[in-house]
Amino acid sequence: MEDENASISYFLGTDALGRDILSKIIAGARITVLVVVAAVGTGVIVGTTIGLVAGYFGGLIDDIVMRFVDAWNILPGLLIILVIVLVLEQSLETLIIVLAIVSWPGAVRLVRAETLSLKNREYVALARVAGASNTRIMIRHILPGVVNIVIVTATLGTGNIILLEASLSYLGAGIPPPEPSWGRMISEERQYIDAAWWTSLFPGLVIAMVVMSGNFLGDWFRDRVDPTLRQL
Amino acid sequence: MGQFIARRVLLGIIALMLAMLIVFSLSRVKGDPRYFFIGEDSLGIDPAVWEEWGRRLNLDKPVPIQFALWMGDILTGDFGDSVTTQRGVLEIIREKAPNTIQLGIIAWLLGTLVGVPLGVFSATNRGNFLDYVLRGFALFGQSVPIFWLALVMIFVFAVNLGWLPSGTKGEGLAIRNFVMPAVALAWFPAASYLRITRTAMLEILDSEFVKFARAKGVAQVPVRWKHAFRNAIIPPLTLSVFVLFGLLNGTIIIETVFAWPGLGRLAIDALWATDYPLLAGLAIIYGAAFVVMILSLDIVYALLDPRIKYN
Amino acid sequence: MKILTDKFKRKTLSAGLLSILAVVAVFAVACGGTETVIQTVVVKEQVPGETVIQTVVVEKEVQVAGETVVQTVVVEKEVQVAGETVIQTVVVEREVEVAGQTVVQTVVVEKEVPVEVVVVEEVEVVKEVEKEVEVVVTATPEGMMEEAMMEAIDIPDSKSTPGHVIFADVGSALGSISGNGGSLPDAPLQGDRWGAGEHLFTPGAADWDEPMLADTWTLAEDLSSVTINIRQGVQFHNGWGELKAEDIAWVINRTNPAINPESIAASAANFTALFGDVPVEAIDDYTISAQFNNFDVRWASNFLNQEASGGLTSMATSKRAFDENGRDWLKDNFIGTGPFSVTDFKSGTSVTLEKVDYDHWRKNAGIDSFKVLAVPEEFTRVALLQNGESDVSFIDPKDLARMKKAGFLEVGAGAGIQEGVMFPGNLWETTNAITGEAIDFPSHGVFVRPIQWVGNPHQPEDGDNPPGIDDMEQARLVRQALARSVDRAAIVEHVLGGVGNPVHVTYFSTFNPNWDSQYEYPYDVDAANKMLDDAGYPAGDNGVRFEMPLFVGPELGGGEGPAGEIGDAIAGFWTDVGINVKVLKYAYGVFRPGLVSRSTVVPMLTSCDDGQEAYPFDWPKGLVQTTLTRGGFSCGFESPDILEWYNAARNEPDREERIKINKEYLAYMHNWALFPGYVTVPQAYYANPNYIAEWPMHIGGSYNSPENIVLK
């Protein structure tokens, strides 16, 4: 029996059941990208909305929101996520919700801070004088000012979400089978690290590369958005 | 200053109480919480015991009252008994905590002592080959799943080379047993430190007063360490608290891989046994520890950076 | 300038990595539509001798339910004369016209046929599946990396101090419910596993009720009571004196929740049933007397036994120690009578046992000390064994084959857990057996809508039955089809690495001499399809007959075994007969309320308490399949017939009669397919043969008797 660790037809070798690693990585990409984009997207949209409202209206709403963000931040994230997966059914939807929960407090914090500084700008005051409604001011005048920074952090956060999904897979709480996921691939093939390193190495490298790309992309966006950091 | 600290303490307490609310809500998500408090029995539970548990959890009262009573218990130090072991939650946590604290602090020091100097080094050698190597390391360090790294380390250093033990804490103070778990835990923080310190250093090195010091003829090395680094310390310092807290997340995985008898393992065991009192206890103790850490950080900030205003 | 080149380099690097991201993303998007997955499986084996190559190509056109299916069967055989078995590889290619789309399915079937020739085949199967992308994660042949893995393992020298044995276990029992802290009887720890505790009875070579701490006993004629004389001169650890009858009586009463409401011993309710609220009494120093409330023939072989699965009772422990120090002290301390005493216990982490320093009444341990470590990660347990850091490790089924081939020593108690699928919701009893009250069926949620695998005896026509078939028969056909559509041998081979074995009716081992092969469910897809057609569930346009959930418990659970993978494999086979299975993996604590309230209809993969390969054929079966456990756990289904057999068997002192009763129960369970079994998962441990010569155990649920370990 041959080890299919490299050949033309199996560029990255095959796994314990003779399945092509590359095909699995490609198939896993779809689901991983879906989960990550959905989770980060949901988290960021919800977080941005809450942050905008809290920052714009201030007062009691702001206080309540920020205390909840604080509360979330002091809890051990991974443990709470695992408990949520435990009490909900383990499914793709649950996982997306859980990963979205991870991203929202950061977005709230960021957007709120930006909103606070933008809402006292002159052009916002002018808009208010011109009779624009609160909703309109938030959407047309403040949102464009915060959207850049949100995109930057969301991109930077993508890598962490992928790593988090991999960790959850390792603990048995990740993307449920039969959907292939990268984290699951590494987790399932870990027993062959000694004999068939390629089965877990390549998914690991793909995760590393995508996380790195996310970081580069985030850095690049940030340089575009914030010129003071451009040359660092 | 006193007012500032008082306000911080108040905010910390509010955050902690809201965190308790989150933890409490999780036990009520799926209806009757008794299933999280009564262990698996195979032939059924005495209806009297079932009722007794209902009373003990105050299920006959409205939910807000239930929460208030539960929180009251916790604030008076009564976290209840673990479902699976029938031992006090605090007692169990106290028993395991030293192992995690030892590992966490060693990893934290390791991450700091490796990451911060390398960050400074990388910044002062900007654009060099070494800078690229270090930044490459930092990127890679932040990009690999920690459990995979740990398994590869076991494979290489324990199974193949036979230099280090594969896992467990060993007998007594077995330093060799600390090496792999600590390095695996420190990997990600070291990379974060490197990136953040580098950025902070570059910012400061570019600033007017460092340029001025240089113009005055102060030598390179003192400029770097005395003038620049002292001012660049704030971001890594902030990071360090989050790193220490983040290590708690890391221990869940690392302690599972290396069979380390600490709180991370305890959390996973409690999770799979649906041991709710223990899970809640862990989450709240973690939260309280973090509140205390942030408070200390705020105070250190205030002492270090005169620019911070208290209001 | 420098900054410029810096930026340039950085941009190039970013661009490079971005393009990788882009490629991945494009692939990901591309995969969203129709995709072709090509799988090639090459199976080669070399056996010297004469060979004949046969190739048979058969093309059939089959008319199934209005659809035309073209089957191409390619059989390639390399036949070696003068052997015993033939392995046939049949490649079936089907072209199925479904709603305008053409789906080509290739099915590879490997059969073992007993003939007087050996066939060695060289078959290359190129599998092309053209359909909505769905990478199949269930088993396909064959371990590609076996050779590489064999080379990777050397047998090391043990790093233990001579005389000490280190055991790496999964550890879920180290300080959890069935293995609670200390020797507290109402929350027992499995001290008996570690040679620290002893019981009245123990499983012997012939019978499960061989006396241990019991010496002689007299059972009343009418089975109403028992008098037990206990062994004299047995000493408690740490100078707590001689074991007396009052210690034993106290332990039993402490476990019985009818007497001690604090008791959380697993299956404590058994004691309520057995003894009621009449305490067991010590007549004199060495005699106890017990009144039975509901006699059960397993009183000695299971309830008061060393190998009480799940910790039915606790080891004999000192009442005086409890009286003097209290409950909390006993949670952390072990006062037993075994050949080892516990010297260090860290809940969930480790336990250290040392050989007692006096002459033990039963057996002087062959080793000085024994340490059990909790190691949840399989990879680490293997590494510990490979490095000589542990002398014995628990090994997951999928690694068993390679550990064996590498030359490690297999030790075990012959334990295996049967995994079957029970079908909750089949509530067929009309009276509550405990209270005697009638059960109000129309109010039962499980019968509100017709569910394919739930038969409703109270309303034979529930709206979706085909003519001439009532609801009970309809659901029976469905469950039979589900039992017959799974290739058990393939699951054993590919999920369990060839070390488990098939089960057909859960609770019954196929190795038992009383087992009858007529109760097997043969793997027969055609028959299963026909049954589902007959039951009135034809395949729809997309090939799906109906949807069904399957609960398999949490995914990893800290190394609780391969249940998840078995569940996935079973679901895969069911998908092949047109049932769209949703495999549910979440905490049992969330699923359990539905079982207790008898309101769930979700099938569950489980051993349901008594699915232990080692359990004798004659033990009363089916207690948790009756209304006798209402208010508590159950398999989710209840049958008046099972109640009758259970009650008959538990009161029947004659073993042969009990076997006869259980054969009736077996035939019934086979026919109604309420709890078809699939595979047995072995509980296996591997030892370092350079250090451990042998470790004989008595039959049981996991490991036991470390006092029997013999070192090299």
Within the 81-100 window of chain A, which residues sit less than 8 Å (CB to CB) from chain C?
85-90
Determine, for residues A194 and B159 on separate chains, whether the beta-carbon distance falls below 8 Å. Answer: yes
Residues C98/C541, Cβ–Cβ less than 8 Å: yes
What is the DSSP secondary structure assignment for residue C234, as one 8-state letter?
P
ipTM more than 0.90? Answer: no
Q: Residue C689's pLDDT is what? A: 93
Question: Is B269 in contact with C310 (Cβ distance < 8 A)?
Answer: no
Facing residue for B203 by CB, picked from A73, A82, A232 = A232
A23, A178, C478, C546, C571 from C578: Cα distances, Å = 26, 17, 12, 7, 11
Provide the percentage of residues in chain B whose pLDDT is more than 90.
3
| Rounded (to 5) percent helix, strand, coil in chain A | 75, 0, 20
Q: Does A17 touch chain C (CB under 8 A)?
A: yes
- Is the pLDDT assigned to residue C140 strictly greater than 50? no
C55: nearest Cα among C94, C91, C84, C85: C91
Summarize pLDDT for C537-578 with one digit per residue, the tens: 998 888 899 989 888 875 444 334 577 788 888 998 999 999
Inter-chain touch A27–C135, beta carbons under 8 Å? yes
Residues 108-127 of B with CB under 8 A from C: 126-127
Rounded to an integer, the average pLDDT of C431-457 is 80
Question: What pLDDT score does B64 carry?
Answer: 86
- pLDDT for position C86: 39
Q: Which residues of chain A have pLDDT under 70?
A: 1-21, 89-90, 177-178, 191-199, 222, 225-232
The answer, yes or no, to whether residue C603 has pLDDT greater than 90, is yes
Instruction: Give the per-residue pLDDT at C246.
Output: 94
Considering CB atoms only, which of A68, A76, A193 is closest to B155? A193
In the predicted model, what is the mean pLDDT of residues C341-346?
A: 86
Non-local (6+) Cβ contacts of B74 within 8 A are B20, B284
Q: Which of A163-167, B12-16, B199-203 has the lowest mean pLDDT?
A: B199-203
C-alpha separations of A59 from A116, C75, C455 in Å:
12, 78, 60
Q: Which letter does DSSP use for residue C79 in this model?
A: E
Partner A contacted by C24 (CB < 8 A): yes
A71 close to B291: Cβ distance less than 8 angstroms:
no
Least confident of A135-149, C91-105, C413-427: C91-105
pTM, 2 dp:
0.75
Q: Is B143 on the interface with C (CB under 8 A)?
A: no
First-to-last alpha carbon distance for chain C, in angstroms, is: 73
A84 contact residues in B (CB cutoff 8 A): 26
Higher pLDDT, C121 or B170: B170
Which CATH number is A21-230's, of 1.10.3720.10, 2.30.110.10, 1.10.1060.10, 1.20.1260.10?
1.10.3720.10
Between chains, do C629 and B83 touch, taking CB under 8 Å as contact? no
pLDDT at residue C453, as a whole number: 93
Tell me: pLDDT of C521 over 70: yes
A3–C contact, CB cutoff 8 A: yes
Q: Which of C349, C350, C600, C608 to mutate to test the interface with B (most CBs of B within 10 A)?
A: C349
- Residues of chain B in contact with residue C558, where contact means CB-CB under 8 angstroms, are 256, 268-269, 272
pLDDT given for residue B304 in this prediction: 67
Which phi and psi angles does B222 have, rounded to 5°? -60, -35
pLDDT greater than 90 at residue C643: yes
User: Which residues, in sequence order, are CB contacts of B305 under 8 Å at separation 6+?
Assistant: B234
Q: Do B166 and C374 touch (CB under 8 A)?
A: no
Q: Identify the chains in contact with A, defined as 3+ C-beta pairs within 8 A.
A: B, C
Q: How many helices (H) and strands (E) does chain C have?
A: 15, 28
Mean pLDDT of C277-305: 89
Question: Among C184, C268, C590, whose Cβ lies nearest the Cβ of B41?
Answer: C268
Given a cut of 90, is residue B203 above it in pLDDT?
Answer: no
Nearest to C28 among A29, A86, A209 (CB): A29
Residues comprising chain B, all counted: 311
Q: Which tops the pLDDT comparison, A11 or C355?
A: C355
- Can you give the pLDDT at residue A20? 65
The per-residue pLDDT for range B45-89, each reduced to its tens digit, is: 556 666 777 787 788 888 888 888 888 888 888 888 777 777 788
Q: Which of B39, B87, B154 sits opposite C177 (nearest CB)?
A: B39
- Which one has a higher pLDDT value, A177 or C478? C478
> Which DSSP symbol is given to C353?
E
Q: Is it the case that residue B255 has pLDDT exceeding 70? A: yes
Confidence of residue B220 (pLDDT cuts 50, 70, 90): low
Q: How far is C602 from chain B (nearest CA, A)?
A: 17
Whether B30 shows a pLDDT value over 90: the answer reads no
Cβ contacts of B143 on chain A, cutoff 8 Å: 159, 163, 207-209, 211-212, 215
- Backbone phi, psi, residue C645, to 5°: -65, -40
- Domains of chain A by residue range: 21-230
Cβ distance B87 to C350 less than 8 Å, yes or no, reads no
List strands edge to edge, sheet with C409-411.
C340-346, C350-355, C369-374, C164-169, C392-395, C684-687, C409-411
CA distance A156 to A166: 17
| A18 in reach of chain C (CB within 8 A) | yes
Alpha-carbon separation of residue C56 from A113, C53, C74, C79, C81 (angstroms)? 75, 10, 6, 13, 18
Whether residues A79 and B143 touch (CB distance < 8 A) is answered with: no
Q: What's residue C5's pLDDT?
A: 42
Q: Which residues between 139 and 178 in chain C have a beta carbon less than 8 angstroms from any beta carbon of chain A? A: 139-149, 151-152
pLDDT band at C333 (very low <50, low <70, confident <90, very high): confident
Highest mean pLDDT among A125-139, B36-50, C635-649: C635-649
What pLDDT is attached to residue C392?
93
CA B207 to mean position of chain CA atoms? 33
The B residues from 262 to 281 touching C (CB cutoff 8 Å) are: 265-266, 268-269, 272-274
- What's the sign of the alpha-carbon dihedral C599, C603, C607, C613? positive
Contact A178 C135 (CB under 8 A): yes
CA–CA min distance A59, chain B (Å) = 15
Q: C21 and chain A: CB distance < 8 Å anywhere?
A: yes
Are A3 and C144 inside 8 Å of each other by CB? yes
Residue C422: what pLDDT? 94
Contact between B269 and C590 using a beta-carbon 8 Å cutoff: no
- Say if the Cβ atoms of C145 and A16 lie within 8 Å: yes
**% of chain C beyond a pLDDT of 90:** 28
**pLDDT tier for residue B215 given thresholds of 50, 70 and 90:** confident
Over residues C210-242, the pLDDT tens digits come to 899 999 999 998 889 999 999 999 999 999 999
Average pLDDT of chain C is: 75
From the CA of B198, how many Å to the nearest CA of chain C? Answer: 15
Cβ contact, residue pair B22, A204, below 8 Å: no
Residues of A in contact with C584 (CB under 8 A): 89-90
Please tell me if residue B148 touches chain C, with a CB cutoff of 8 Å: no
Tokens of B69: 């009573």
DSSP C676: B
Partners of A205 on chain C (C-beta within 8 Å) are none
H or E stretch covering B94:
helix B89-124
Give percent of chain B above pLDDT 70: 86
User: What value does the mean pLDDT take over residues B295-299?
Assistant: 81
Query: Each residue of C365-405: pLDDT tens digit?
Result: 999 999 988 888 888 888 899 889 999 998 887 777 778 88
Query: Are B265 and B256 spatial neighbours (Cβ–Cβ below 8 Å)?
Result: yes
Tell me: pLDDT of C263 over 50.
yes
CB C291, CB C225: distance < 8 Å: yes
Q: Is the model more confident about C354 or about C11?
A: C354
Helix, strand, coil percent content, chain B, rounded in steps of 5: 75, 0, 25
Chain B CB contacts of A183 under 8 Å are 145
Between positions 557 and 616 of C, the ones with CB within 8 A of A are: 557, 564, 568, 583-587, 589-590
pLDDT at A203: 78
pLDDT number for residue B40? 47
Q: Higher model confidence: residue C465 or residue C463?
A: C465
